[in-house]
Structure 1
């Protein structure tokens, strides 16, 4: 297993820089959340959501009421559009970042429902709480903690969502076990994530990690399902929401330092080897009712 502390430190530093840049923007300074980089996608200095790369592009309705949170989104999907959320339910977002999915969920579970966001980066929590206050959303709470150790009681939420964060964890089995623990019977696991669709050479996993911002690497689609089953979930499945074609890989390759490639491999060869290998996906599963 990867050095868990080192992975958490790298992820925290990356997201902290992104959050500080976005907070500076909200306070009237220069910069944007995108300028700090993050999972998923490469860095940007434009501050324009959806203009960065094919992984982060066109995930949300541009007319979303939470503009500042939208500008801070660093995900690879839109779990709130795919998860079935109902008034009165309790939702937990693992790795909530700037708070967009929490705020969207809070609106959908009102009245009577509540949305929790969990993040280990204090700067991101500060940004999320700022976005929450500016949006006037009252039925949401942002918690400090790691997704491998959720600070909520057993059987306390109806739906667990996440947006391109579980692949960051060095202990994905612990994340899935915690999701299972906090869900109520018949609760739903509904996350967006990067997945591998086929095995790739080990030497190229680092390239995918650089392209997607996924420090610890993505799981194979079938491995994801197997791990969910091992955690106790049923009806697990992976639905591809965006398969990256050759043109999009070439777009990503344009931002890659050739020095990160395996010795003797060109960018063109890397694109050829990774064509069709990874995608954004909606991963769903259910906690048994009994």
Structure 2
């Protein structure tokens, strides 16, 4: 949202890209991100809150009736000051949600194609995240007829840790509501294995010293991208990675088994933030990506190399 102060929101690269994509017939979701992790939430009736709602009034005309889903919020319990993850968080997001609901009713009509979700909840596998503010969040979702459901981001340390997310949200929603999974991954599991020693066979085949750590191989691929086979050999020679090779299929099977999944999406490509200052303590988001433009040489002009997950990703599109 703050970026929309730079000019016409319809021309902001993120909004322009998603509306152009929608115009080509693709289904689209836009999350409205309110970063308050370095400043307090604006108080009700304050000029700061009025400015935030004025931003919405500039953004919403560009997306309502064009994108299929608008998610109100991105990761509110991360994009906030720790001390304010309480009723103040709820009051802000509820105010924003009501404003979006009213604007949609007045300007997009009863048959508006854009549906509304609240998003997104993180780390519900941890009991200490089941706070009064999280409970109120779900109560608002349940008791607001115009809200279709809630978004979750299950970035987890084991595949089994997704179930607590579902156990938390499903009983707290109306029977007619559904959920989104706009992000999910095993990133916290990958991080636990960055200090693992690579396979001796891989090290010998590709000239790495005995005892080389996984993070050092990833850093080498960032510094000088590998060929496709070399990158695949690194991943498939790592038992910690191959043991989770069915992660995408297993997770989608779990989400779909509820009968309540609206949409799940997955991280599509590596980006520059994922590879900056890579080391043993870096969160390895890059291992999630369907495409690997930063660790694998391109296949040709404008052709990023696929990562490990492409085959599973394509298969899941086919149902």
Q: Does TM, normalized by the shorter one, top 0.5?
A: no
Higher relative contact order (CA 8 A, sep 6+): 1
Q: TM-score, normalised by structure 1?
A: 0.31
Q: TM-score, normalised by structure 2?
A: 0.29
Determine which structure has more spread, i.e. the larger CA radius of gyration. 2
More strand by share: 1
